[in-house]
Amino acid sequence: MELGTSIALAGYAVVVAAAFSRNRQFGVFALVVLGFPTGGGIALRDHLGVLGDVVPILQILADLHFGALLFSRRMRGLVFRWLVSIPALWFVAGTFLSLPWIVVAAFGGPAWGAWIPFALVTFGLYQTLYTREETLDVRLDLDRDVGVLARHPEIVTRATKAADGRPLTIVQITDPHLGPFMSVNRLRRICERAVERDPDLILVTGDIMTMESQNIESVLTALQPLAEARGKVFACHGNHDLEARDVIRQAYARLGVALLVDESIAVDTAAGPVQIVGADFVWRNRDVHLAELCRDNPRIPDALRIILLHDPGAFRHLPQGEGDLVLAGHTHGGQVGLLSLGLPSTFVSLVSKVPDHGMWARGRDRMYVHRAQGVYGFPVRVGVPAEESLMRVSW
């Protein structure tokens, strides 16, 4: 066995063992995720041409990236991110998409076109690191009962005919996931642009951090521009925020961001009164949780009711008629899909019934699922560009 491959296998074993010594959940995570570049790289190496020559190096970089998570939860520096984390995670994503080729190669077959997933991931890396500003014009037809949960084609994310009066303007920040692909400076610039667009509301729907950014210095520095918009920035928890609740709570408090944990607030805007309800993130008994949330935070007459609900999968549990506009994230728009080709299908829509991106409706409730600014889990986007939008809402 070649030296590079031996080092990569040894590194895999050491990282997985160390991860299990920390806790079982992290051990399983390392075993599975790091298994793709390790096992898949070995299976595909002879089928990747020139890329095959650097596979051992990429495997070692993957070991280094995941190993570093065991020792520090602080943001990595620019050099480490670009020389270790980004190429390592690019390779992880490539091997993940290469699963059909890996199976063929493992059984001794000719894995023709094994380079294709890596070409797709290279394009996906661009879509991960670059975000185009958009403006979305949305008309909420709240008097129409659409029945069961479905995409809502009549509310489009392009220019629509505006209703009478001034629309409510919203910038949503969701799932930036400070980490390899979202530096502190990049998120800071996103926040600066959000403030510069001077919306009525800036609404943050969770998942600011990853495992390597759970420190208040990184979060404070990244979100600092939001302090200039005190009084119109509101947030709810995402699932990853629960890993370091105190960090998020302290950072928001210092910046003047109102964190709504199963509570609501009334805001007067130039477009009219708005009631913002922030749902805490829960994994279980979502129907009971959301019923209690709505009971404890009843509607304010004549106010548009906006609910911040990190996971769009919980939308179906919301009591009927409670969400004029629900804002969610969590899915990263589906992250792997065909949106770049003008088609709505994504990996999330293929394997589940969870709303993945864009406008959805159920009864008279409406929800917008933001494609997010960042990524986590699957390490790059493919065919689902990140989103940085200004929403103009008429009703």
What CA dihedral angle connects 357, 358, 361 and 365, to 10 degrees? 100
Do 114 and 47 touch, CB atoms closer than 8 A? yes
pLDDT of residue 149 exceeding 50, the answer is yes
Q: Is the pLDDT reported for residue 41 higher than 80? A: yes
The CATH number of domain 133-394 is 3.60.21.10: yes
Give dist(CA 357, CA 363) in Å, integer.
Answer: 18
Residue 164's pLDDT is 54
- The predicted structure's pLDDT at residue 155: 52
Other C-beta atoms within 10 Å of 17: how many?
12
Q: What pLDDT was estimated at residue 125?
A: 95
Predicted structure pTM score: 0.93
Q: Based on DSSP, count helices (H) and strands (E) in the chain, helices before strands.
A: 14, 13
Express each pLDDT in 354-387 by its tens digit. Answer: 999 999 999 999 999 999 999 998 899 999 999 9
pLDDT at residue 71, as a whole number: 82
pLDDT of residue 23 exceeding 90: no
Structural domain spans, the chain: 3-127, 133-394
* Distance in angstroms between the alpha carbons of the first and the last residue of the chain: 66
> What are the pLDDT digits (tens) for 55-83?
999 999 999 999 998 888 788 989 999 99
Checking if the pLDDT of 162 tops 60, the result is no
Identify the band that residue 1 occupies on the pLDDT scale cut at 50, 70 and 90.
low
Least confident of 60-64, 140-144, 176-180, 365-369: 140-144
Beta carbons of 7 and 56 less than 8 angstroms apart: yes
Mean pLDDT for all residues in the chain: 93
102-112 pLDDT, tens digit each: 999 988 899 99
